[in-house]
Amino acid sequence: MAANATIYKANINIANMDTHYYAEHSLTLAKHPSENDLRLMVRLLAFIFNANEELVFCKGISQDDEPDIWQKNLSGDIELWIDLGQPDEKRIKKACGRSKKVIIYLYQEGMAEAWFKQNKKLLNRFDNLSLIYLNIEGDIEELCDRSMSLQSNISDAELSLINDENTVLVTEVNWK
């Protein structure tokens, strides 16, 4: 965790009809000083879409050797590596070489499309790599608070994220 990180607490009730996963998670997220509310909330979305008991947040931005989120098996092997944004070629190669499955979540439409077009040939080389664009309808940053209590419902790859006052819809669009 970065020295000046801001701590966020999130109680998330997850009902995922696609995977039949139903659980409540009490999460602690460290927001790096260079991270904005949007990126923090996208990390939370990535966790919700892949939620299980072994999934954990990593050091992310402040650590080059770790993803934003990962899942390891009991022997310490990385089962799932999750990154956000537009990682460089070196990071993608490292992730795909170290993990059984890699997911990169893209969320800034213009920048994501340009990055994808520029790196399409490289990205297609990796069989264990998935690229998922998150189409966010609503102001997800309004849900961001130092202490969050959120309900998430997932059906047909669409997530409804709800707090007491707001609802945000997020759709996963598979690019690879």
**107 and 101 in contact (C-beta within 8 Å)?**
no
**132 and 172 in contact (C-beta within 8 Å)?**
yes
Model pLDDT, residue 3? 64
- Judge whether 21 lies within some domain: yes
Number of domains in the chain: 1
Tokens of 35: 């991270």
Q: List average pLDDT for each run of 10 residues in the chain, which is 176 residues long.
A: 79 96 95 90 96 87 78 94 93 94 93 92 93 95 94 95 94 94
The domain spanning residue 75 has which CATH number?
A: 3.10.640.10
DSSP annotation string for 107-136: --HHHHHHHHHHHHHHHTT-TTEEEEEEEE
- Judge whether 1 lies within some domain: no
d(CA 85, CA 92): 12
Tokens of 113: 């499309």
- Judge whether 78 lies within some domain: yes
Q: What are phi and psi of 73, to 5 degrees?
A: -90, 180
Model pLDDT, residue 102? 97
- Judge whether 121 lies within some domain: yes
Model pLDDT, residue 9? 96
- Judge whether 48 lies within some domain: yes
Domain carrying residue 130: 6-174
d(CA 161, CA 167): 6
